[in-house]
Amino acid sequence: MTVEANVPTSEDQIPQWDLSQLYSLDSPALQNDLAALDRQAADFSLWRARLEQGRPSADEFRELLGALEDLTRLAHRLAGFASLAFAQNTQDQKALAFMARMDEKMADLGNELLFFEIWWKELPGEEAGPLIAARPDFAYWLSRTRALRPHTLPEPQERVINLKNSTGSDALIALYDSISNRYRFRQDFMPQAGPELTRDQLMVHVRSADPAVRAGAYRELYRVFGQDGPILGQIYQTRVRDWRIENIRLRHYERPADVRHKANDLSPAAVEALLNCTRRNISLFGDFFRLKARVLGLGEQLRRYDLYAPLTADRASIDFSEGLSEVLKAFKNFSPRFADLASRILAEKRFSARPGAGKQGGAFCYSMLPADSPWVLMTYNGRRQDLFTMAHELGHAVHSQLAAEHNVFHFHATLPLAETASTFGEMLLADRLRRSPGSAGERADLLFNLLDDAYATVGRQAFFAFFEIRAHEMIEAGATVDELAEAYLENLALQFGDAVTIADEFRWEWVSIPHIFHTPFYVYAYSFGQLLVYSLWRQYQAEGPAFVPRLTALLARGGSAPPEEILAESGLGPLDENFWQGGFEVIRSLLDELKLAL
């Protein structure tokens, strides 16, 4: 279980990606491809006249889809570079300007392509069927597109929405990112004050063994976010109003969250079963928090500051190369192919882990095109938690590479399945560390961390979803930012009951959560993915190596079929409360194992 702690890695030894493989902001290649995108869009628009003449032949339809796929590949490459350059340094004015330019260009492109989308949705079923048969490799995407017909507006209105978004909600989210990513945090809470910290650097201290440091880090986090709380809250209110105006009033979805369910091609019943099961089992985490409070000598209640407190004192920084080795060995023990695909990301210089001023906080894996290796961003601070972040993001990278045989419309897994490989990667790392030599205290410490993460991924994310549902209703009814903050405190009280005390500054936690701004109702995908992986893990434990090809096949499907169909083919489902309860039984077994380890 012991991960060797070496001399702390100097920053120049931590990998940084090389975006020049795509473009540089001043490169002629970038300008040439922007011009090529305009030409391809203009050429594709010539299909409008042909479609107005009647249904195309099968050969013509295959040609049309080929042109659309080429155009989409180039657009994804350009827009992806814009996002990555901005993430690399959110304070780079050239990167910010180029991202704004690409947002506008993508809105224009969306308008250029609208004629095909609307024609395809309105085509009678008896005429669409033979065309789908002409390109069976596109069948799922074509069918999903037609399924959105009830929520599609006439072309002029769709054009206005696309243009409005580029300078409206999209620009507002970019403003939120620019504001929040420039924050710097004081170290007044440390025994010896140091230079100001980025958010990622600050968050290392919420897992400190020192209770005063943990509390100080959280207070500083929400001091800074709280100063701008009214402004960030107004951005969120505007985002929600825009979402409701477009999707409820114009597109006639019944509920705000139904937009996400439809995009995920997932039944609302499956999500409601997931959330209801989480609500019913949330006291399981309360039992864990009370146990943790006793072990840490804090009585019968944790403070919210102590939620991620380690069982043992902070260890020396883990050298990056040693941490990477542990992750790759964990992957290789499951499947050498998984390790090879993960290693490819670093070999091709598509992995950014080096801390840096202006770097986007958090972590992500950006899968741009099926034929290209994805890009991974995180910030490595030498803590064991960074190893799990690495396993998570490299798991995403494995997933997209396994699905690389699909076209650009099918290789991305829908959100409910997007966290499968990433979370399974974390389980593989945890299993390796649990099986490594070490003391009973180290084993207990690891189990504490696994249960911390189970709460953070299942319970916390599900209750974010509950807050989003309520916040959308409250904002529609005219709620103020202060009222939303009070509602968030009530949400925390429901999560923690009498197991955790909550300081007032946590009222601003919600404005620090990028997902609810960027992608409304995204968060339940984390709960979905974690509980799903617990079920997969149980099968792996029962089947051993025979399970490897089954998981590989599941991941290789990408987004080429409805998620519930993919899971059914893997022997999982239906996704009712009984199914989700199985995931909570794994959490309960981890808690029982922890009690024995103590």
- pLDDT, one tens digit per residue, over 140-160 is 999 999 999 999 998 889 888
pLDDT of residue 313: 66
pLDDT of residue 439: 66
For residues 221 and 315, which has the higher predicted lDDT (pLDDT)?
221
The number of C-alpha atoms within 13 Å of 75 and in the hemisphere containing its C-beta is 22
The torsion angle over the Cα atoms of residues 304, 306, 308 and 313, rounded to 10 degrees, is: 170
Question: Which residues lie below 8 Å from residue 419, measured CB to CB, with a gap of 6+?
Answer: 525, 526, 528, 529, 530, 532, 533
For residues 439 and 280, which has the higher predicted lDDT (pLDDT)?
280
pLDDT of residue 571: 83
What average pLDDT is seen over the chain? 92
How confident is residue 310, by pLDDT bands cut at 50, 70 and 90? confident
Q: Is the separation of the CB atoms in 325 and 56 below 8 Å?
A: no
pLDDT of residue 315: 64
Per residue in 193-223, pLDDT (tens digit) is 788 998 988 998 998 989 999 999 999 999 9
pLDDT beyond 70 at 43 = yes
How confident is residue 445, by pLDDT bands cut at 50, 70 and 90? confident
How confident is residue 570, by pLDDT bands cut at 50, 70 and 90? confident
pLDDT of residue 1: 46
How confident is residue 167, by pLDDT bands cut at 50, 70 and 90? confident
pLDDT of residue 12: 75
- The single-letter DSSP state of residue 185 is B
Q: Which of 420, 423, 424, 410 is nearest to 562 (CA)?
A: 410
Q: What values do phi and psi take at 408, rounded to 5?
A: -65, -20
Mean pLDDT, residues 511-529: 94
Whole-number percent of the chain with pLDDT over 70: 97
Peptide bond into 574 cis (omega under 30): yes
How confident is residue 111, by pLDDT bands cut at 50, 70 and 90? confident
- Cα distance between residue 540 and residue 534, in whole Å: 10
How confident is residue 8, by pLDDT bands cut at 50, 70 and 90? very low
pLDDT beyond 50 at 4 = no
User: Is 19-167 a domain of CATH 1.20.140.70?
Assistant: yes
pLDDT beyond 60 at 292 = yes
C-alpha distances in Å from residue 166, one per residue of 127, 159, 173: 35, 11, 10
- Is 435 in a helix, a strand, or coil? helix
Lowest-pLDDT range of 175-184, 209-218, 307-316: 307-316
pLDDT of residue 2: 45
CA–chain centroid gap for 389, Å, is: 12
pLDDT beyond 70 at 6 = no
pLDDT of residue 10: 63
pTM listed for this prediction? 0.84
Per residue in 215-240, pLDDT (tens digit) is 999 999 999 999 999 999 999 999 99
pLDDT of residue 597: 85
For residues 572 and 232, which has the higher predicted lDDT (pLDDT)?
232
- Cα distance between residue 257 and residue 469, in whole Å: 7
